[in-house]
Amino acid sequence: MEYRSLGKSGLAVSQICLGTMTFGKETSPEDSTRMIDQFFDLGGNFLDTANVYVGGRSEEVVGQAIKKRRQDVVLATKVRMRTGPGVNQVGVSRKQIMDCVEDSLRRLQTDYIDLYQMHVWDQITPIEETLRTLDDLVTSGKVRYIGCSNYYTWQLMKSLCYSDFMRYARFISIQPQYSLVCRELDREMISLCIEENVGVIPWAPLGSGFLSGRYEQGVIPTEGRLSAKSGEAHWGHRYTEKNFRILDEVKRLARQYGKTPSQISLNWLMYKQGITSPIFGARTLEQFEDNMGSVGWRLSDEDWNRLDQVSALPDEYPTRFIEKFRRSL
């Protein structure tokens, strides 16, 4: 297992992060605990959850599983989504953050959170209020570092600028969707994160299961994440000629390396410039073991570049203009 610094910080995290969105529902508490124990036995130290996963049950399961090894864990959770019927039980206002952090600490059975992330931008609350509140939490010791998730590039840059101007704690990471079949972040976000030293910890690194190789062209899934009727896991977001070309290349390399398509896809992502630690989820122990087979080896440069090329975004302005200009210098 390799370890990387998370953004502009001294916090070391494993090259892969265990996501716990299914813990306490699709994944039983017993299997969840087994996964966490095996993850740490294999060198992992980074866990991600959120206060709304399974209505807070995920945090409870994680908290129970790690309470005897808390200092060895880099524990990440989130705030922003609706937590109750009240008008103020949503967003990242000072009130909601202060209320939610106490609830998360209680469920997690800990007195601090290593990485506290804003789940989505809040269009109502001024960013000044949110960042001041987060800085207070860092100062108090209840939160060690802060991050964001699902932000536009301008929203992240605005947040970083305001934190720097006010000398507040700044976001050290962002958690976006990113994979071989979802590379929209290449337009601006990845280059910003490299420039500003913000760690990128992608969710859905297997394209909601598409890159596991279980799906066939022309067959609409009736089970699993991609059978969803809406949202990012909707089959319509994955069913494209380009994505199946990517999948064909992943399967070819899986045969060549004696690996699974999931392992090939995760390994490519781990060594993408700007990516710190992909977050993988597993409903079963079999899925967990498959995903963990992505560490401890590396694609050749030739094969890595082949995947990078087949999954790259179309040639677009201003990227093509800027690249042509650079080559002319």
Give the per-residue pLDDT at 221.
60
Would residue 20 count as lying in a domain? yes
Q: What is the pLDDT of residue 325?
A: 81
Cβ neighbours, 10 Å, residue 80: 25
Task: Specify if 242 maps to a domain.
Answer: no
Sheet holding 17-19, edge to edge: 199-200, 171-175, 143-149, 113-118, 74-79, 46-48, 17-19, 279-280
The answer to whether the pTM exceeds 0.85 is yes
Please report whether residue 311 resides in a domain: no
* In a domain? residue 220: no
240 assigned to some structural domain: no
Q: What's the pLDDT score for residue 328? A: 79
pLDDT of residue 215: 76
Is 178 part of any domain? Answer: yes
Residue 16: what pLDDT? 98
CA distance 258 to 256: 6
The CATH number assigned to the domain holding 55 equals: 3.20.20.100
Residues paired with residue 280 on neighbouring β-strands, in sequence order = 18
Residue 32 domain-assigned (yes or no): yes
Q: Is residue 255 part of a domain?
A: no
pLDDT of 220 reads 66
Cβ(261)–Cβ(179) below 8 Å: no
Among the listed residues 53, 116, 145, 215, the single catalytic one is 53
Give the pLDDT confidence of 75-124 residue by residue, as tens digits. 999 999 999 999 999 999 999 999 999 999 999 999 999 999 999 999 99
What is the tally of structural domains in the chain?
1
At 226 the pLDDT is: 65
Q: Is the dihedral of CA 290, 293, 295, 301 positive or negative?
A: negative
Report the pLDDT value the prediction gives residue 118, as an integer from 0 to 100. 98
Domain residue limits at 42: 3-210+260-297
What integer pLDDT is reported at residue 216 of this predicted model?
72
Is residue 269 left, alpha or beta, with left meaning phi > 0 and alpha meaning psi from -120 to 50? Answer: alpha
Q: For the chain, list residues with pLDDT below 50.
A: none
| Token pair in block for residue 55 | 């209505």
Is 168 a residue of the active site? no
* Residue-level pLDDT at 238: 77
